[in-house]
């Protein structure tokens, strides 16, 4: 048997052992890419925050948020129709998440109650999901339930992923500025995000590439599997598809971890433009595609 064929066979076996094979036939998609966050060095974070171009490229916002247990973070948000990106600088979020190289991934449901199905799949696969309620304080000192979340580990090296489902208390609060439900049980990303993207270039995130430690990747695979993604692997790499956004995870030492690459679908065809933001480069066009490398 050739080395390449043997390598593929080993990869498939590893996926089965990790509970990470492709979605089974007929298994309903429960989770979709919602957003990724990442912490970069100050020069990049500041360049993003003060970029005039990004305000034209995307529905862009710099916001300080108070969440559960009084945790406060300052994020720079690029929002599209259903997907968004959140960028931090050193210390903008508490603890190790505020160190450059840290990153995270939120995978959300589209229909109310699907988070329970995610939990059931995780339990059936022999895992012990951890529940957490995220809240948001709009400034009156009264936290509003924001979303239910499920994750598998409380501590990670540099990267953590979680499942999430928006709560009715938040969606129905006028301060959230969320649109009306389009169908019964609508907790979708498109409902949650504003429609301002229509007047910008960025429509959605189509691909992300994150380097992660082997341990963080092993902790992420079961959640991807439970969400209904199709997974493809080769030694050191896992690619999750199905649901609109491709997510690639490459193993690397802890010191090389972080968000490395993001691709976008644009609302219209544009000529090529290059924007340098700190140590990162955003190439927009030609056509209806943009690529941001970090």
Question: CA-to-CA distance for 73 and 70, rounded, in angstroms?
Answer: 10
pLDDT of 40: 98
Query: Could you give the 3-state DSSP secondary structure of residue 83?
Result: coil
**Which is more confidently placed, 256 or 17?**
256
Whether 282 and 292 have beta carbons less than 8 Å apart is answered as: yes
CA distances 260 to 61, 70, 72, 136, Å, are 22, 30, 25, 29
Overall domain count for the chain: 1
Which residues are within 8 A (CB) of 216 and not within 5 positions of it... i.e. 6 or more apart? 156, 157, 158, 159, 160, 257
pLDDT in tens, 213-263: 999 999 999 999 999 999 999 999 999 999 899 999 999 999 999 999 999
Query: Could you give the 3-state DSSP secondary structure of residue 128?
Result: coil
- Read off the pLDDT of each residue in 9-23 and give the average, rounded to a whole number: 39
Question: Is pLDDT at 17 greater than 90 in this prediction?
Answer: no
Least confident range from 1-5, 18-22, 275-279: namely 1-5
- Read off the pLDDT of each residue in 112-131 and give the average, rounded to a whole number: 98
- Read off the pLDDT of each residue in 98-103 and give the average, rounded to a whole number: 98
Question: Is pLDDT at 153 greater than 80 in this prediction?
Answer: yes
Residue 157's CB is within 10 A of a number of other CB atoms, namely 18
Q: H or E stretch including 124?
A: helix 114-124
Domain coverage including residue 175: 3-293
pLDDT of 26: 52
Question: Model's pTM, two decimal places?
Answer: 0.91
Which residues are within 8 A (CB) of 71 and not within 5 positions of it... i.e. 6 or more apart? 94
């Amino acid at each position: 048997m050739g080395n390449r064929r043997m390598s593929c066979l080993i990869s498939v076996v590893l996926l089965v052992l990790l509970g990470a094979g492709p979605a089974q036939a007929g298994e309903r998609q429960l989770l979709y890419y919602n957003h990724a966050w990442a912490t970069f060095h100050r020069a990049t974070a500041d360049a993003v925050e003060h970029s005039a171009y990004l305000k034209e490229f995307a529905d862009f916002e710099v916001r300080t948020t108070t969440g559960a247990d009084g945790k406060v973070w300052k994020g720079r948000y690029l929002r599209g129709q259903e997907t968004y990106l959140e960028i931090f600088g050193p210390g903008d979020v508490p603890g190790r998440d505020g160190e450059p190289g840290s990153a995270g991934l939120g995978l959300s449901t589209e229909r109310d109650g699907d988070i329970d199905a995610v939990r059931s799949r995780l339990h059936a696969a022999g895992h012990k999901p951890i529940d957490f309620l995220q809240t948001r304080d709009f400034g009156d000192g009264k936290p509003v339930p924001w979303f239910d979340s499920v994750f598998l580990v409380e501590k990670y090296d540099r990267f953590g992923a979680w499942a999430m489902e928006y709560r009715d208390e938040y969606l129905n609060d006028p301060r959230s500025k969320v649109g009306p439900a389009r169908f019964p049980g609508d907790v979708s990303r498109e409902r949650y995000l504003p429609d301002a993207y229509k007047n910008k270039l960025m429509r959605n995130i189509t691909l992300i590439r994150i380097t992660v430690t082997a341990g963080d990747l092993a902790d992420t695979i079961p959640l991807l599997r439970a969400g209904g993604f199709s997974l493809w692997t080769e030694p050191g790499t896992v690619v999750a598809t199905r649901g609109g956004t491709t997510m690639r995870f490459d193993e690397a030492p802890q010191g090389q971890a972080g968000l490395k690459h993001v691709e976008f679908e644009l609302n219209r065809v544009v000529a090529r433009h290059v924007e340098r933001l700190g140590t990162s480069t955003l190439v927009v066009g030609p056509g209806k595609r943009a690529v941001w490398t970090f």
